Amino acid sequence: MTKQTIRDVNWEGKRALVRVDFNVPLEDGRITDDTRVRAALPTIQYLLDHGAAVVLMSHLGRPKKKVVEGLRLAPVAAHLGQLLGRTVKTAPTTTGPEAEAAAQALKAGEVLMLENTRFDAREEANDEGMARELAKLGDVYVNDAFGAAHRAHASTEGVAHFLPAVSGLLMERELAELGGLLENPERPFVAIMGGAKISDKISVITNLLRIVDTLLIGGGMANTFFLAMGHNVGDSLVEANAVGEVNNILAFARERNAEILLPTDAVIADAMSADANRKVVSVDAVPDGWRILDIGPASVAAFSEKIKQAKTVVWNGPMGYFEAAPFAEGTRGIAQAMSESAGRTVIGGGDSVAAVEQMGLADKIGHISTGGGASLELLEGRALPGVVALNDKA
């Protein structure tokens, strides 16, 4: 990694202003999944162990530039305090006199959580005034919020121009894992792409086809490939206006000598419902009035064999309507194959993470990214604003 990290700073007596990604699910003021909070613990603990006072900032949800009581960060601060075994103080605002007073009163070994950055209308506009106000709250800026690094906001990019700016340990690992896939993957290199829409991932697929040996495609996005190949897809989710781009992808794969493997069979249903009538058919035999909701068992077997042979595997996006149990077997099969792989395995955020966690296989995956959108943009080959703004190593 070419960016400075928290290991490059003498923290004794300094205040670390740390951007974390604590955008966690809340129900009745309780965190239902604290994965992102736990992911930031190594950075926070390192700073505390090396004599820093720690000021944390994060967004939570989509408050639309105003204060939303249910999206305050106090419950997250309380939960973090339990994990750290110490009190995490809270500030009533993100910037301004109260936040400044709370930050300046902080002693080495103490932690302060600022209020939700997105309560301030200036955050998402990357307002310079807000960035300067944030810079008053610390001596060194630390970005450990990989999940928000693709956003050029005041707390993720702007503030880095007014303080020495370094990477946290989570950010460092994310960049090493995902960046390493693109720079020097062990081969065979297999990428698995799923999810609903092909239009969301055309650039990612195109970039991956420059690097991978095989690209496996499932989920709703495969339907547009079937349409481009002349198959009837019934009532399946499909993007007819993306057929031209799919043909371009197929041509590019042939040009690059990269293999694209599509499902050969599918689980179809007469409604998008867990109790709908369903059956397994060949992908070229979908009747009118039915829809493809998962890849079939033959496709799971073929995809799993490719994963078994691979030395490097990256996966983003479910194979079907995995939220409903009857249509989760394709996604479950891919998760199982990933967990049994002897190669380097990476899951690039999003619903694929939820799938492996639901199936109890997360601890058998080499790396699970905390950032869906950020990981996709990295795999697309794009620079992340929150990373670009950090100090380069000498």
289 is annotated as an active-site residue: no
Q: What gap in Å lies between CA 208 and CA 380, rounded to an integer?
A: 7
Q: Considering the candidates 320, 350, 371, 386, report the single residue annotated as catalytic.
A: 350
For the question of residue 13 being annotated catalytic, the response is: no
Cα-based distances in Å from 159 to 8, 12, 168? 19, 22, 15
User: CA-to-CA distance for 309 and 4, rounded, in angstroms?
Assistant: 36
129 catalytic per annotation: no
Q: Please pick, among 81, 179, 373, 381, the residue that the annotation labels catalytic.
A: 373
Q: Which of 14, 15, 19, 36 is catalytic?
A: 36
Residues 6+ apart with CB under 8 A from 48: 54, 84, 109, 111
Choice among 89, 197, 311, 364 that is catalytic: 197
**Catalytic residue positions?**
36, 197, 350, 373
